[in-house]
Amino acid sequence: MGGSSDHPVEYFAASTLAAILNYPLWRASALGQSGFRVALHSNSFLASSVPPSLAPYLFAFSPPYKGLGATVMGMSWARAAIFYGSDRGKEILESMGVAPTTATVVPPLIVSTGVQIVNMPLVRATISLQNPESNVPNIRESFRQIYKQNGIGGLWHGTSAGILKTVPKYCSAVLVKEYIAKVLPPVDAQSPTKERDKLVQSAIKSTAAGVAGAALTNPLDVIRNEMFKTNLSFIDACRSLHNELGYGFLVRGMSKNLVAVSIPVASTIFFTDAFIQYSNSKQ
C-alpha cells in the first residue's frame, strides 16, 4: 500500500463511515459510563419485556438522536487526524533515522493530546446531551448551559482525564496494530486471493488494536464522564466513584465500552486499509 501521505482522503472517509455506523454504540457507552438512568416508558410493552441491562442499548438505538451531527463530526476529524498523523509522523521520523519504536509511539502521543484538547468542549457537550433526564434539546443549548453554569473553563473540564484516557488508548492501538502487522505472515503477491488475504490480515490487526485500546482505558472513561456529570475535579471524581462503587467503578460500563470503543477504532483502521487498497487498485 502507498504511504499515508498519499491517502489523506481515505483516512477521513474511513473515520467518517466508522463514526456514522457506530454512533448508537458510542451513545450506549456514554450512558453506561456516565451512570445516566435509563427508564423505558411504564406504559410501553418493552418496559416489561426488555431486561434493564438492555435498556441503555434500546434507548441508544432509538430516536431522537441528540447531537448526532456534532458527535459524528467530532469523532470523524479526531480519529482521522490521529491515525493519519500517527502513520505520517512515523514515516517522517523513520526517514530521519529515528528508532522504529520511538517513531511509532511519539506521533500518536503528540497528535492525540492535541486533538483531545481541541475536541474537549464538543466531547463534553455531546456526552452531557445524552442524559435521558435532561431537557436540553440540541448541541447549541448544551454548550450554552455548560458555559452558563461553569464559564468558559467548564467547556474544558475533564481534559486531564480525557488526555489520560485518549492518549494511552490510541498509543496502545497504534502499537498493537503495528506489532500484529509485523508478526502476521506476509501476503503472497502471486496469490489469486491476495486482495482478500490483505483484508483478512487488516481485520485481525484492527480487532486486536481496538480491543487493546478499549480495555486499557475504560477506568479513565468512567472518571472523565463522572467529571462531566458532577463537575468534580479529577481526584474528587475518583473519590466519589470509589465511595459509591468501590473499585468496581474501574469496570463500570466495561462491556459497553469494549463494544463502543473497540468497534469504532477497529473499523476505522479496517476501512482505511480497505479504501487505500481499493484506491491503489485503480491506479
User: Where residue 66 sits, what CATH number does that domain have?
Assistant: 1.50.40.10
pLDDT: is 61 or 51 the higher one?
Answer: 61
The helix/strand/coil state of 232 is coil
Q: Report yes or no: 2 and 99 within 8 Å, Cβ to Cβ.
A: no
Using a pLDDT cut of 90, give the percent of the chain over it.
50
Give the total number of structural domains in the chain.
Answer: 1
With a cut of 60, say whether residue 104 has pLDDT above it: yes
The arithmetic mean of pLDDT across residues 34-39, rounded, is 72
Whole-number average pLDDT of the chain: 86
Q: Report yes or no: 21 and 267 within 8 Å, Cβ to Cβ.
A: yes
Q: Report yes or no: 165 and 224 within 8 Å, Cβ to Cβ.
A: yes
Q: Over the Cα atoms of the chain, what is R_g?
A: 20
With a cut of 50, say whether residue 229 has pLDDT above it: yes
**DSSP 3-state percent helix, strand, coil across the chain (nearest 5):** 80, 0, 20
What one-letter code names the amino acid at 279? Answer: S
The answer, as to whether pTM is greater than 0.85, is no
Structural domain including 238 reads 4-281
Residues 6+ apart with CB under 8 A from 98: 106
Phi then psi for residue 231, to 5 deg, are 65, 20
159-183 and 234-245 helices cross at what angle (nearest 10)?
80
Q: Where are the alpha helices (DSSP H) in 231-253?
A: 234-245
Number of CB atoms found within 10 A of residue 74's CB: 22
194-230 and 8-34 helices cross at what angle (nearest 10)?
40
Question: Which helix (H) or strand (E) is 39 found in, with range?
Answer: none
Residue with cell 497504534: 174
Check residue 6 and report its DSSP letter: G
